[in-house]
Structures are given as C-alpha cells and as structure tokens.
Amino acid sequence: MARLKTVLLVGLGVLVCLGTTGVVLKGTAERNWSLLEQRLEEVEREVRARFESREPLIGQAGSGKALELYQEAIDQALEIVGLSAPRESLLELERGSPEDLDRRVEFAASVEPVLEALARGARAPDAKLFEDWAARDMDWQTGVALPILWPHEVGLVTDVAFQAALIHLVQGDSARALELLLSSLQLARDLGATPTLTEARSGALLLVREPLVALVAQGGWSRFARAELIAWSEALAEVDAQLDFPGDALRVHTLRNVRSFAEELAFGETPEYREEHPFLQHAVPAVTAVAKGHTRQSFEVLLDFDRDLRSAVRDGGGVLEVLDRYRAEISEQKALAQIPFEDLEQAVLLRAEHLARLRVLRFALGHHLDLENAPGVDRLGHPIRTATCEQGRRFWIEGSPWGSWEMIVPPE
C-alpha cells in the first residue's frame, strides 16, 4: 500500500512538473510564434499588393478574371485538339504544299475559340490566379500546393497559339501573329508572377519554350515590321521587370505550411481532443510548445534563405553560394525545412535559368534592332555576350551555371 502511495505521489509530481514546464514553455513558444506570424503577415501583405492587377501587354484592358478565361481556353483546347497540338516549325510551314497550307489554315480557324479566350484572359484586369492560398489543395508529402492550372494544359494552349501565330506569319499577317505571341507571353507572365511554386516554375519556363527560340533561329524576325519588333521588345522588357527573382514562392510556401501546422496543433488543445485523451491534458502544453519551437526554427530558416537570396541578387552575385550554405545548414540541422528545401532549391534554380534565357532573348532582339536598353547581364550578374559565327550571330551567357545554352540568329 505504501509503495502504491509512493507511485501515485511520484506520478502526480510528474504531471505537476509537466504542467508547470508546459506553461513556461508554452508562454515562450507563443511569444516566438507570434513574432513568426507577424513576419508572415508582412510577407502576405507585400505579396498580395504586388500583383493585384496589371496592364495588358497588348490592347486595352477588358473585363473578367484571367483565371476563369485561361481555364476556358484550356477547356476549349482540350475539346478541339485533344492532348497535343501540332508543332510544325516555320521552315516546315514555308515548305509545305498548297494542300498542307489549306489544312493549316483550317486548323487556325478551328482553334479561334481557344485564341479568343486566351486573348480575353490576357486583357483581364483581374490577373490573380489565386484567391486564397490557405484554401489551396496541397501535396502533404512535399507541402507544395497543387496547381490551379496544370502546366501541361497551359502548355497545350500556348502550343495552339504559337502554331496559329506561325500560320498567320507564313500567310503574311504578322500583326495577328504578334497578337498571339504577346497573348501567350501575358499568360506566361501571369503564371510566373503567381506566388505559388508550381505556377511560378511553369510560367518562367513558358517564356523561353523551344518553339519560340526556333522561330528566332529560323529567321522569323525578318517577317515582322520594325514597329512590331519594337512592341515585342517592350513587352519582353515589361515582363522581365515584373518577374522578380527569386520570386515569392519560397515565402508563400512557408506561409501556407506554418498556418496548416498551426491548425493541426490547435486541434490538440480543443475540448473535444482533451475529452477523448484525458491522460494527455497536462502534457499537451509542453508537447505543443516543443513542436511549435521546432517548426518555427525550421520555417524561419526558409524565410532567412529567401532574405539572403534577395540580398545576393541586389548586391549583384553570390546566389549560388547562398544556396550551398543553406543546403548544408538545413541538412546539418535535420530540420523540417529539409523536407521542402530540395523542391524549393530546384524551383529557384529553374526560375533563374529561364529568366536568364529571357534576358538573352531580350539582348538578341535589342541587338537586332540596335536598341540601347538591351540588358547586358542575367539575374545572377553573368554578362551576356555576342559574336559572329558561321550561322549568323551567336548570343550566350558568359560563365553561366546553366550549361552551354545559346541562341543563334541567322543573318537577314
């Protein structure tokens, strides 16, 4: 009996200690958590204010929401052309027979509903491709929000528009071809400006897809009037200015995950949960405090990573060094941040690569038009170079971490 009393007293003492420790830990954790939430609230205000609206790259602003109109273009494309669109090059179109030309003109006419929805989406004043980040479905293994617009479906729409643009170009209607190219560019910009991982990644990719580079390599610029090329150059410059690096996906990803985690922890403190698990009611504050502390530290690492990336870009270099340092730090800490870091790092590198290629395209077009405002470096500070070669003029990034990617423009 005496032993039982001792065990009960010890157990009671443990519960009291747990409760007292839990209260102390919880108070500290709540203060630190509140600081993290304040930091995230500032991030959210900044991100939401940045892209609430935008002027269209071509034509006057229309009406409606870009998201709904882009989805309409996707639905029309899936219904009219199926899962893939023709991807014939400019040279293939030029060398086709009269029968081939008739078939292609028929194709361009058949996809007008797709092109009309795309154009209206590109002119829509409400360019937000999201309403509420917290309401997005999420892949719980990676913590990455599932896409609003699936990349392969968006790619289908831009393939349709690009093929139609080439057909119009071969027929001599360069003005209509430019309209379609700029509508596709607007879609890519709207995706690239969206502060979620999947959209930002696919939007930057659409800016420099292979068919566009092939158009340039096959002398497509010679089919446009100078005024049209200047309009194209100005649109590229506008998009380049609006798509910052590293983008907002890192911060919004952190915002979503922190809030989701907080909701899960809050459930552990509800009366329903405590009623179902009465033996845990004294331990809940301590467990919650420890979990919040670990989570706060992990996600603050991602916010610090974003901050240091931006500082490196502002200072003109050192981005790859920042990536290496945080990769090692997060791996050593074995923090929760390690789970999404690989995806986030890949997204940052891909965005840098595609925006660098956009800069090369801008530089090449500026050189072609003899403009003075063509950018001379990529987003990481690497110089863009040009030289004559057997095929015409070569453009590339010196010291680029993206490999040997280059653009060749044939002589006029």
pLDDT in tens, 14-27: 444 545 554 445 55
Indicate whether 3 belongs to any domain: no
Looking at the structure of the chain, the number of domains it has is 1
Residue range 352-377: mean pLDDT, rounded? 87
**Structural domain of residue 143, as residue ranges?**
51-243
Does position 144 have pLDDT exceeding 70, yes or no? no
Does position 388 have pLDDT exceeding 70, yes or no? yes
Indicate whether 72 belongs to any domain: yes
Question: In the beta sheet, which residues pair with residue 396?
Answer: 385, 406
**Pick from 194, 218, 190: nearest CA to 73:** 190
Indicate whether 261 belongs to any domain: no
Q: In residues, how long is the chain?
A: 412
**Pick from 58, 345, 33, 351: nearest CA to 205:** 351
* Beta-carbon-side half-sphere exposure of residue 381 (alpha carbons within 13 Å): 9
Indicate whether 117 belongs to any domain: yes
Indicate whether 192 belongs to any domain: yes
Indicate whether 412 belongs to any domain: no
Does position 4 have pLDDT exceeding 50, yes or no? no
Residue 126: strand, helix, or coil: strand
Residue 401: strand, helix, or coil: coil
Indicate whether 10 belongs to any domain: no
Indicate whether 279 belongs to any domain: no
Q: What is the pTM of this model?
A: 0.80
Residue range 80-91: mean pLDDT, rounded? 88
